[in-house]
Structure 1
Amino acid sequence: MPTDLTIRTYDTPPHLGRQQVMDPRSLAYRRPYDGQPLRATEWEPRIPVLDQQNLIAQGIYTSQDYGLDEDVDALSSCTGNAGTALLSILLTKEQATAAGLNTDDATAAEHYAIGLYADATERDQWRDAQWPSQDVGSSGLGVAKVLRDRGLIDQYGHATTAEELCTLLQTGPVLMGMSWYAAFTDTTDPDGFIDADPNWPASPLEGGHEVCVTALEAVAVEDGVLKPEQTILRFRNSWGSWADHGDGRLRLSTYLALRAEIDICQPRLDGARP
């Protein structure tokens, strides 16, 4: 395990759970912005909206399914859920089925997400605790490593600037780990904008969260420069029908405000699968 990881840990309430783990070796796999035109893009998950909460109502009993002493109704498994949504975009329906991901059944897909989360907590070797047994959260980097271990992706790249993030979204969805503020939940507007309240930075920090960014919904450029307030990201969340039927939105300016607390990872499948 590398000794120079940058790790930011958060409490793990059941609706959150992302931990920020940055490996400096990842900087070699950034995809720099080369001046290409940035266009609106969207990538639609092939699975229903997942819900890391309300597990019992979904027929998921963690005591019998995962060998725990008692059932829990929610898990800090946002990383596994975001990774599952992303994987459903990368793989065809047939490929997903072969990988054990049922794209037609929300409960089966949630089970897959929980399994991905469990493996990610094991791959996060900077701590001893793992799930099942301890619901400690995981990292986007851990999820990417698991997907590669399983042979489901070829590689994963990273972005550290707004331009690099928009460049990644030209070719596919990305995992975005971020700090989650109370206003993002409490004052989301009908269109799903988590930053509808301009005073969101003053609201309490609730923890860390992972989402799958599925669209660069609008791009505003003036004189070759991105206009962050008018450039819009859409993401798939894992809280059921939350916000806009399970999707949220944020302005690129919010990404920039949180950039030091965000990690962007894009698992990729560039070659043909057997």
Structure 2
Amino acid sequence: MPTDLTIRTYDTPPHLGRQLVLDPRSLAYRRAYDGQPLRATEWEPRIPVLDQQNLVAQGIYTSQDYGLDDDVDALSSCTGNAGTALLSILLSKDQAAGAGLDTDDATAAEHFAIGLYADATENDQWQDAQWPSQDVGSSGLGVAKALRDRGLIDQYGHATTAEELCTLLQTGPVLMGLPWFSSFSTPDAAGFVDADPDWASSPLEGGHEVCVTALEAVAHIDGALDPDRTVLRFRNSWSSSWADHGDARLTIRTVLALLDQIDIIQPRIDGVTP
């Protein structure tokens, strides 16, 4: 394990759970923006919207399924849930079935996400505990490594700027980990989590991982991205009743405001467009 990791841990309420882990070696795998035109793109997950909460209502009993003493009704498994949504885009229905991911059954897909979360905590060697012994949360880097260890992806690249993020979205979805403010939990009618201009003054609830599925709008001003009119859409893991049928939006301005606390990873298969 490298000793020069940047690690920022958050409390892990069960609806969140992402920890920030940056490995300086990842900078060698950035996909730099080379001035190419950036166009609106979207990638649709093949699975239902997942829910890392309300597990018992979904028929998921962690005591019998994962050997715990008691059932828990929510897990800090957002990295596993985001990784599962992304994987369902990269793989065909048949490929997903071969990997153990049932794209038609929400409960089965949630079980897959929990297993992926467990693998991610094992890859997060900077922390001592793992799920299912403890619900410690995990990192975007950990879940990318878990996907690679399972042979489900071949590589993963990174972005460190808004332009690089938009470049990645030209060819596929991305995982984005970010600090989660309480204001984000109540999006406006259009699904924007950052509609409140004072969102940064609301309490920090923890860290969260989402799957960015669309560069929904691209706008420029003076040759640069217009941060207020360039819009991302992401798939969350809080059921289809949250925000816009389980999806939400934020502007690039918010990404820029939080850039030093965000990690952006794109798992890929042979660099081929899904």
In the superposition, the TM-score normalised over structure 1's length comes to: 0.98
Any residues of structure 2 matched to 1:8-47 within 5 Å, and which? Answer: 8-47=8-47
CA offsets, 1:172-207, max 9 Å, x none? Answer: 000000000000013x10111000100000000000
Partner AA of 1:29 in structure 2: Y
Tell me how far apart the structure 2 counterparts of residues 3 and 127 of structure 1 sit (CA, whole Å): 13
SS in 2 for 1:198: coil
Tell me how far apart the structure 2 counterparts of residues 146 and 183 of structure 1 sit (CA, whole Å): 31
Q: CA shift at 1:224, angstroms?
A: 2.3
Q: CA shift at 1:271, angstroms?
A: 6.2
Partner AA of 1:37 in structure 2: P
In the superposition, the TM-score normalised over structure 2's length comes to: 0.98
Tell me how far apart the structure 1 counterparts of residues 189 and 222 of structure 2 sit (CA, whole Å): 32
Partner AA of 1:228 in structure 2: P
Tell me the equivalent position of 1:90: 90
Any residues of structure 2 matched to 1:1-274 within 5 Å, and which? Answer: 1-186=1-186, 188-241=187-240, 242-270=242-270
Q: CA shift at 1:221, angstroms?
A: 1.3
SS in 1 for 2:58: coil
Tell me how far apart the structure 1 counterparts of residues 180 and 261 of structure 2 sit (CA, whole Å): 10
Unmatched runs of 5 consecutive residues or more in structure 2: none
CA offsets, 1:212-243, max 9 Å, x none? Answer: 00000000013421101000000000000210
Q: CA shift at 1:132, angstroms?
A: 0.4
SS in 1 for 2:194: coil
SS in 2 for 1:178: strand
Tell me how far apart the structure 1 counterparts of residues 223 and 28 of structure 2 sit (CA, whole Å): 26
Tell me how far apart the structure 1 counterparts of residues 21 and 182 of structure 2 sit (CA, whole Å): 22
CA offsets, 1:97-150, max 9 Å, x none? Answer: 000000000000000000000010001000110000100000000000011111
Unmatched runs of 5 consecutive residues or more in structure 1: none
Partner AA of 1:129 in structure 2: A
Partner AA of 2:158 in structure 1: H
Aligned-residue RMSD, C-alpha: 0.8
Runs of 4+ in 1 over 4 A off after TM superposition: none
Partner AA of 2:141 in structure 1: L
Tell me how far apart the structure 2 counterparts of residues 195 and 160 of structure 1 sit (CA, whole Å): 21
Q: CA shift at 1:251, angstroms?
A: 0.4
Tell me how far apart the structure 2 counterparts of residues 266 and 199 of structure 1 sit (CA, whole Å): 30
Tell me how far apart the structure 1 counterparts of residues 139 and 174 of structure 2 sit (CA, whole Å): 14
CA offsets, 1:69-120, max 9 Å, x none? Answer: 0000000000000000000000000100000000000000000000000010
Partner AA of 2:166 in structure 1: C
Tell me how far apart the structure 2 counterparts of residues 209 and 111 of structure 1 sit (CA, whole Å): 19
SS in 1 for 2:47: coil
Tell me how far apart the structure 2 counterparts of residues 28 and 174 of structure 1 sit (CA, whole Å): 18
Tell me how far apart the structure 2 counterparts of residues 195 and 82 of structure 1 sit (CA, whole Å): 20
Tell me how far apart the structure 2 counterparts of residues 133 and 25 of structure 1 sit (CA, whole Å): 30
Query: What is the aligned residue count?
Result: 271
